[in-house]
A and B are shown apart, each in its own frame.
Chain A
Amino acid sequence: MSKHLTAKKIIFYVAILAVWQAVADANFWPNEIFPSPWEVMQDLGYGAADGSLFYGIGTSMLRLIVGLAIAIAGGITLGIFMARMETVNQTIGSLVLGLQSIPSIAWVPLALIWFGVSDAGIIFVTAIGAIFAVTINTYTGVKNIDPHYIEAAQNMGAKGSQLITLVLMPAAFPYLISGFKQGWAFAWRGVIGAEILFSFLGLGFLLNVGRQTIDVSQVIAVMVVIMGIGILVDGLVFKRLENKVMSRWGLR
């Protein structure tokens, strides 16, 4: 099955490239506006040659990792409190739902004023964009735990942090994982978006350079890199993690 699938995928992507090249060659639009895949490849080459591409990837990934880590730590804490304390849920919980509807980019002006043009500002945008997805998933996960497990643990004397780390989190783990996955998706969008608006290093900055210099092939090259990293992280990290957890928790 997998051989067949790979062949299908390869044919599909080759076809896309072929059509793209053909449209570019047909010169409906000038090259400056619609570059060919070959030019985009060349631009990736230039970016790799002067190192800016690798520094860009490194900077963006670092901000993502820090931001996502903050979001995961904060989101789990908040989610558990919301699930276990009705007052927290009724107050902060309602706010969380509202805050989740704010796109992370909308935090950029505040971040610029509070943190200035700095890594901290971009990390703030990243973290706040991802934290509520983690919170809501954690909340749902903890709420869905069979109450008998919790009662049994409490009868055996589990309390406070013990209850949280040894009972609640493991029991809610499948939900936590999908929270992380959603959080990562929000965080990645947040990092790139914030970098474009901050125009302060990272892949978003490189994309901005392409825009300001009207270098469309550089814009597309950076977009391809952003997509590539997305696919890679999704496929290599989160899909595997999810599969493992799902089968270990007997959900599949």
Chain B
Amino acid sequence: MNFRSAIAAGIIGVVTVSIALAVFTSEQDDKDKIRLAFFPNVGHVVPIIGLEQEIFYEKLGNETIVEKKIFDSGPQVIESFFARAIDVAYVGPGPAINGFLKSENHNIVILAGAASGGVSFVVHPDSDIQSAADFSGKRIAAPQIANTQDVSLRHYLSEHGFTTAEKGGSVVVLNISNPEIYTLFIKSDIDAAWVPEPWATIFVDELGGKRLFYEEELWPENRFASVLLVARADYVESNPEIIQKLLQAHYDTIQWINSNPEQTGKIFNEFVKRELGKAFPDYIISEALTHIEITSDPIPTSIHIFAERADSLGYLGRDGYSLEGIFYDTTPNEQKTEV
């Protein structure tokens, strides 16, 4: 009996402490804080290097704390914007456009570009896919519904005359996170994947996959925005100075990355190892970096093309759309340097 009541008391104690912890650590809005979201992907080296090399801290000064939030996919980032849990984020154009159109008063705006390219279509070594003609009956993975790779993949499929399985067609699109795609790739559960770096390079170098094409080959001038710096418009309005400093840090970081490619890879990997507890092999990262262009150019034409594609997939609602105002005018009086 005593033993039982001891156990019961123990359980009650643990539950109480857990609830108390959960209550007291929940966050509150703070004025001198900028909450920055990004993914541990190679396309997101700008925030990672910016934080690790302390370029962000230098520019933003002591009074502004940069709080980093690591995500795995764009739609999650947009949900967090809606919940006002983040202020600025590095995301792909798919979620950026969706967030802009679906938020109240277009509350999500693009501040600058961060990367172009860095996405590939990789075929599993056991699959007989040689070209788009062989897609019938295949299982192809992309990170998440309505994310940038998903829009590109589904557009590519319909361009080549395929319908996806949920509409009765022959191609199954699996929307799962990058690490899970990796697992399915190992288990030979998928035929191909439309994935960002470093995953594309991992699939090729470690798992024997075949890179059928780089996504940029499908774009005019071989360039398309794959990562953008976006922000909550009301945050930008009320903190214009912080945003200017952040942008300056963003440009400086891009410059630093492009003049120190080797160190970039190392720092990126150290960061990933510390944050996620597991690093990628160094050679994978340095190769992955060669497949991507780090640039502050948001390549606006590619954003408009993305929007058209997402719209034709039914992702942008049914009443038409307009991208007017999606690019936030970030040049007040300071000169900015396009890199």
> For residue B79, which residue of chain A has the nearest CB?
A214
Residues of chain B contacted by A213 (CB below 8 angstroms): 75, 98, 102, 145-146, 314-316
Residues of chain A contacted by B78 (CB below 8 angstroms): 214
Indicate which residue in B167, B176, B316 contacts A50 across the interface (CB closer than 8 Å). Answer: B167
Complex formed: what's the CA distance from A46 to B167 in Å? Answer: 12
* Interface stretch (choices A147-155, A202-210, A238-246): A202-210
Given contacts A50-B167, A51-B167, A55-B166, contact A116 B189 (CB under 8 A): yes
Interface string of B50-83 (1 = CB under 8 A from A): 0000000000000000000000000100110010
Residues of chain B contacted by A200 (CB below 8 angstroms): 172, 174
> For residue A216, which residue of chain B has the nearest CB?
B102
Residues of chain A contacted by B318 (CB below 8 angstroms): 42-43, 46
Indicate which residue in A116, A205, A214 contacts B166 across the interface (CB closer than 8 Å). Answer: A205
Indicate which residue in A30, A43, A118 contacts B104 across the interface (CB closer than 8 Å). Answer: A30
Given contacts A56-B166, A213-B315, A215-B317, contact A32 B102 (CB under 8 A): yes
Residue A94 lies at the interface, judged by CB distance under 8 Å to chain B = no
Q: Interface residues of A toward B: which range?
A: 20 to 34
Residue B187 lies at the interface, judged by CB distance under 8 Å to chain A = yes
| Contact assessment for B314 and A46 in the assembled complex, using a CB-CB cutoff below 8 Å | yes
Query: Which positions 38-65 of chain A face chain B at CB distance < 8 Å?
Result: 42-43, 46, 50-52, 55-56
| Contact assessment for B315 and A201 in the assembled complex, using a CB-CB cutoff below 8 Å | no
Complex formed: what's the CA distance from A117 to B318 in Å? Answer: 30
Query: Which positions 186-202 of chain A face chain B at CB distance < 8 Å?
Result: 199-201
| Contact assessment for B189 and A212 in the assembled complex, using a CB-CB cutoff below 8 Å | no
Residues of chain A contacted by B145 (CB below 8 angstroms): 199, 208-209, 212-213
| Contact assessment for A117 and B146 in the assembled complex, using a CB-CB cutoff below 8 Å | no
| Contact assessment for B184 and A201 in the assembled complex, using a CB-CB cutoff below 8 Å | no
Interface string of A208-236 (1 = CB under 8 A from B): 11011111000000000000000000000
Residues of chain B contacted by A43 (CB below 8 angstroms): 318
Complex formed: what's the CA distance from A32 to B82 in Å? Answer: 11
Q: Would you give the shortest CB distance from A207 to chain B, in whole angstroms?
A: 11
> Which of B166, B168, B180 is packed against the most chain A CB atoms within 10 Å?
B166
Residues of chain B contacted by A209 (CB below 8 angstroms): 145-146
Residues of chain A contacted by B79 (CB below 8 angstroms): 214
> For residue B316, which residue of chain A has the nearest CB?
A213
Residue B286 lies at the interface, judged by CB distance under 8 Å to chain A = no
Q: Would you give the shortest CB distance from A250 to chain B, in whole angstroms?
A: 44
How many residues does chain B have at the interface if contact means C-beta atoms less than 8 Å apart? Answer: 31
Complex formed: what's the CA distance from A214 to B101 in Å? Answer: 10
| Contact assessment for B166 and A201 in the assembled complex, using a CB-CB cutoff below 8 Å | yes
Residues of chain A contacted by B99 (CB below 8 angstroms): 214
| Contact assessment for B104 and A52 in the assembled complex, using a CB-CB cutoff below 8 Å | no
Given contacts A32-B102, A50-B167, A212-B146, contact A201 B314 (CB under 8 A): no
Interface string of A109-124 (1 = CB under 8 A from B): 0001100111000000
Complex formed: what's the CA distance from A202 to B79 in Å? Answer: 23
Residues of chain A contacted by B166 (CB below 8 angstroms): 52, 55-56, 201, 205-206
Given contacts A46-B314, A52-B166, A116-B187, contact A212 B144 (CB under 8 A): yes
Query: Which positions 162-210 of chain B face chain A at CB distance < 8 Å?
Result: 165-168, 172, 174-176, 180, 183-184, 187, 189
| Contact assessment for B168 and A201 in the assembled complex, using a CB-CB cutoff below 8 Å | no
| Contact assessment for B168 and A51 in the assembled complex, using a CB-CB cutoff below 8 Å | yes
Complex formed: what's the CA distance from A208 to B187 in Å? Answer: 25
Query: Which positions 302-318 of chain B face chain A at CB distance < 8 Å?
Result: 314-318
| Contact assessment for A55 and B167 in the assembled complex, using a CB-CB cutoff below 8 Å | yes
> For residue B310, which residue of chain A has the nearest CB?
A213
Complex formed: what's the CA distance from A55 to B183 in Å? Answer: 28
Q: Would you give the shortest CB distance from A1 to chain B, in whole angstroms?
A: 43
Q: Would you give the shortest CB distance from B260 to chain A, in whole angstroms?
A: 36
| Contact assessment for B174 and A55 in the assembled complex, using a CB-CB cutoff below 8 Å | no
Complex formed: what's the CA distance from A206 to B187 in Å? Answer: 26
Complex formed: what's the CA distance from A211 to B74 in Å? Answer: 12
| Contact assessment for A117 and B189 in the assembled complex, using a CB-CB cutoff below 8 Å | yes
Residues of chain B contacted by A208 (CB below 8 angstroms): 145, 175
> Which of A46, A199, A213 is packed against the most chain B CB atoms within 10 Å?
A213
Residues of chain A contacted by B176 (CB below 8 angstroms): 117, 199
| Contact assessment for B98 and A55 in the assembled complex, using a CB-CB cutoff below 8 Å | no
| Contact assessment for B104 and A32 in the assembled complex, using a CB-CB cutoff below 8 Å | yes
Q: Which residues of B contact A (CB under 8 A)?
A: 75, 78-79, 82, 98-99, 102-104, 144-147, 165-168, 172, 174-176, 180, 183-184, 187, 189, 314-318
Pairs across A and B, CB under 8 Å, 6 listed = A30-B104, A51-B167, A199-B175, A213-B75, A213-B316, A214-B98
Closest 3 CB pairs of A and B: A212-B145, A214-B102, A212-B75
